[in-house]
Structure 1
């Protein structure tokens, strides 16, 4: 029974996946992904992390707290690093510089979406929270913040990128996409893999990075991620978040 199930599951996994992933602070990663088995397993683990957190659910103006959303984004950051450590070089092989790998996507999301958002808004929100009078509840105090619309807008852009990534990971893992489909900017529903069903995805004024270029960028920025989040961890503990 288990052998037949395993064969059926593998048959649902495509050998190649076309990737087009928009990142708020980098541009776009595009190319072809031919995932190895370790990459498929890593893709499933990250997919589960994404779809079970508020990071891929739209935060409406009258719903939720930005603090909770940022905390969820930080959890995804940590989970992504743990998955990279767990699978090691198998998800970022040297001989595949001209194709997409799990490592390219993971580092792209860390440096092109999560890290810039957190390093900008976590300390800014913490500073505002420290000014809350005892007579004002945390929810109302956050909603009185004059920078709230800006941080919500950037959270929305990051959420859209993570939702696209979740669709790509679902394809690679041979899994169904388990969240409701969000409409494209012009109202067209999105397919798995993040593409509109009836037209190509166009990102105005984007920078399309080849896997080789992005790998070079990751080599330069990854040490900064570790240092920056050491400081962020310290701020989080100090703020009691």
Structure 2
């Protein structure tokens, strides 16, 4: 609620400042030939309208969401229309990958799981790079959650196990992965990362306003 009133006060102040600027501009236009004055005035008005439409679209419908982040605590996130779209993209990319699905000891390959996690890492980073940063103050943002996922979960696991598994594959290319001495250790850490990743997926769903996200994860798991 505090964030809402703070954002509203900022918008009102900005409207007042721009209105003052337009007033000075209109006063100056009185000294110019009427034809040019109308042209310049119309241009200024068009730019002002475009600016405020964009500003309103990005800041409207501020919503506070409380989410418990793995290894952290319950945090308050602030989302608007734009950040909800980013959260939806992150949810879709996460829920459709094997990186968030349990991998039993008797199924799948570690290489495939690591490749999936690496793909999620790259896609998440690309989504963040191509989207505009949240402008809301007073709470955590969807970018905060995504970067935390990358730096606390995916990066440490991939930095450790990708070179170790690659070394095994290069040294003994004809040896099955199941006979790798560190396979059980790697799978144990992978299960932890996948459990935590699923919590982030559900958090993205909440920020995006997705209903029944648990059912989507369960359905995706059953289909594999």
TM range (shorter): 0.5 to 0.7
Per-residue deviation at 1:15?
Answer: 2.7
Q: Is the aligned partner of 1:39 residue 2:80?
A: no
* Structure number with higher helix proportion: 2
> For residues 148 and 156 of structure 1, what CA distance do their matches in structure 2 show?
12
Q: Is the aligned partner of 1:146 residue 2:181?
A: yes
Q: 2:64 aligns with which of 16, 29, 32?
A: 16
Summarize the alignment of residues 77-116 of structure 1 with structure 2, pairs less than 5 Å apart: 77-90=121-134, 93=135, 96=137, 98-116=138-156
> For residues 156 and 53 of structure 1, what CA distance do their matches in structure 2 show?
15
* 1:86-121 Cα distance to aligned partner (Å, 9 max, x none): 11323xx3x62x522111111111110011011100
Q: 1:166 aligns with which of 195, 201, 207?
A: 201
- Structure 1: 5+ residue stretches without partners: 1-12, 182-241
Which residue is 1:217 aligned to? none
**The residue matched to 2:72 in structure 1 has which SS?**
strand
Q: 1:126 aligns with which of 162, 166, 173?
A: 166
Q: Is the aligned partner of 1:28 residue 2:72?
A: yes
Indicate conservation of the 8 Å contact 1:14/1:172, yes or no: no
Please provide the CA RMSD for this pair. Answer: 1.9
Q: 1:64 aligns with which of 84, 96, 108?
A: 108
Per-residue deviation at 1:132?
Answer: 2.2
> For residues 83 and 193 of structure 2, what CA distance do their matches in structure 1 show?
23
Which is bigger in relative contact order (C-alpha 8 A, separation at least 6)?
A: 1
Which residue is 2:218 aligned to? 180
Runs of at least 4 residues off by over 4 Å: none
TM-score by length of 1: 0.61
**The residue matched to 1:113 in structure 2 has which SS?**
helix
Paired residues, number: 156
